[in-house]
A and B are shown apart, each in its own frame.
Chain A
Amino acid sequence: MKTNIKHFLFLVFLFSVFGVDGAVGTPASPTDILRPTLQGMIDAIRDPALAGAEKKEERRRKIMEIASRGFDFTEMSRRVLGRTWQKISQEEREQFTQLFIKLLENTYVGKLEGYSGQEIIYKDERIKGKKAAVLTLVKHDGAAPFPVSYVMLNNGKGWQVYDLNIEGVSFLRNYRDQFKSILRKNKFAGLVKVLEEKNASFITGTGAAQ
């Protein structure tokens, strides 16, 4: 509620400074916002200076830094934890957010890397109130292109991605059910442990084998 008032005040401020025309004039579309983020990530994946397994850490750091401009990781973490987010402390929230970002890196970025050298095609965009969805296709030689939709939210700070829909499966919804099942049995500490183990599996190669 408090943040809503803040956003409202911020909007009032914007309107008073730039006038109605300035604020409504030519708002950047969700696709306009998404495109440089994804292109930056793809460029980093393609960058020969960052290629190879030994450069993985450096490459991933670069990719995730670019991603953080277009993705709202805190919003994602809040939504994926649901009710539990309210119950845990600020430190635990930060700890969880870091683990969840790492999971996103291992799964989504890992998947994108598998399609490196390919292009992203922007197929469609829809806006509904504060939400928008952008459909992209990741083209790949010799295989069917895989569709990724980005669900974005405009919380006053511009459009930011808060959910990915890969081949029809919502990233947040899928992980939320898994987290819920783990939380019920093993509480927050158990979830942290499982997340750490999963992330580690991508380093040791049991998960990263492709």
Chain B
Amino acid sequence: MKPFSYERVTSPAEAAAAVARTPGARFIAGGTNLLDLMKLEIETPAHLVDVNGIGLDRIEPTPEGGLRIGALVRNTDLAADATVRRDYGVLSRALLAGASGQLRNKATTAGNLLQRTRCPYFYDTNQPCNKRKPGSGCSAIGGYSRPLAIIGSSDACIATNPSDMAVALRALDATVETVQADGTTRTIAIADFHVLPGKTPHIETALKAGELITAVTLPKPLGGTHIYHKVRDRASYAFAIVSVAGVIQPAGQGRIALGGVAPRPWRVEAAEGDLPKGAKAVSARLLAGAKPTADNAFKVSLVERTIGAVLAEVKGKA
């Protein structure tokens, strides 16, 4: 690991200012992804600003009837929150399907949104990777691409976003709140938060340098049946091959977002009108324009079948 200096801060504004004034500085919260990448020298911050002392660890109702989740709320606490369990079950389910108990106890809401891909070539510093070293090439294209993206990828990168939580937040139309070093705050729709790789796969989010996530806000509850169905290589503690976050209403309409198939949570609102027609119709529209590799072409039919499983589960619960 490269040496770094370290400071603790006590407010969001102080945190953003500290990162802005120190070259090579990064925020650290739970640290479960950042520290792992620092050990491999994939991330090499010169300075860490520890944001664990700045508050932002509460879940509160909003005046609009929704829920405001502080950036530092741990994954365990968010999944276990009574309101989230009752009104946003898909979010609890997605969180509980991710990582291990130990990691969820440390991982934060904001950190989960910012976790980096698990593409094996991103992790292997001996191999070219445009995300890790811009312009060096993509080893995954033509390499081992079974776990990687089938849609939204580019000629420069076919990595997937590994988050389960973000897939549920996309289905719920969450909003990300931030603060910048000059004190300006803004909100970013979850649909715009993660950006597609294009020619710049090292840029993964809409955040500006030094911008700090302060909260994630959920709109008022949607009702319906909430399901998060994750397909993976073992029954627990593994990243998704394909996952489906579904919020389905009694009449059959609803929302569907996919994980494990794209560089960001994948949702196509226009496809959701086809939900009453069944999994095949929705899947075809969701994955229109998909460019799978020979290794991961199976994901196209797996998406259809996983959506089918979600819709069958909804019927079973009705």
> Are A and B co-members of a single complex?
no
Spell out A's residues near B (CB within 8 Å). none
